[in-house]
Structure 1
């Protein structure tokens, strides 16, 4: 039996940009991607602390060390620059394997840097 569980999470990161006229996705500083074990094009869930919005999109690499968190395309309508969001990735795995699995949790500072 396969189940879905938390793979990784970037907890309480600040939105730095919102670009409506873009194909669609979330651009994430590559340092944050590495810390959270996320890869380009991976599906993620975005939870907006400020307004309760939830959406799914995919990851695009942002400039390393920039602190960039940019919602692109239609997703940009669900956030405002300065909003605090949580970025969540899930994984499917065997039930017994899942019992031993530990997710990666990242807690950036107020400038979206890894403390």
Structure 2
């Protein structure tokens, strides 16, 4: 049996930009994508802690080390600059693959730097 499991999460990322006229997506600093194991164009779920909105889009790679979280296109109507988001990526796993599996979680500070991590990210990777 295949199961859909949480693969990666950016917890309490802060929106830095919104661009409603863009064709769509959520642009995320490349270093955050790499640490979380989220691929460019991968589907993501976004949960807005500031207003309760929940929506699906895809990840776009933005400049490294800038802490950018830009909600674009129609999704920009569901978030505003400074909103806090939970950004999640899910994946299909077989029953065998989930044994011992833990999702990668990046806990974000207010400036979108990483305050701490859980599970798959080695601590030296965020130094």
CA distance in 2, matches of 1:77, 1:99: 39
Report whether the alignment pairs 1:52 with 2:52. Answer: yes
The residue that corresponds to 1:97 in the other structure is 97
Moved over 3 A (4+): none
Which aligned pairs between 1:74-85 and structure 2 lie closer than 5 A?
74-85=74-85
The residue that corresponds to 1:114 in the other structure is 114
Aligned length: 115
**Segment of structure 1 superposing worse, 40-49 or 28-37:** 28-37
* Matched position secondary structure for 1:39: coil
CA distance in 1, matches of 2:105, 2:54: 19
CA distance in 2, matches of 1:50, 1:108: 15
The residue that corresponds to 1:14 in the other structure is 14
CA distance in 2, matches of 1:71, 1:8: 18
Structure 1 regions of 5+ residues with no counterpart? none
CA distance in 2, matches of 1:71, 1:97: 32
Which aligned pairs between 1:14-53 and structure 2 lie closer than 5 A?
14-53=14-53
Scaled by the length of structure 1, what TM-score is found? 0.97
Shift of 1:49: 0.1
Query: CA-to-partner distance for each residue in 1:15-61, whole Å, 9 max, x for gaps?
Result: 00000001100000111111111110000000000110000000100
Q: Which has the higher contact order (CA 8 A, sep 6+)?
A: 1
Aligned alpha-carbon RMSD (Å) = 0.8
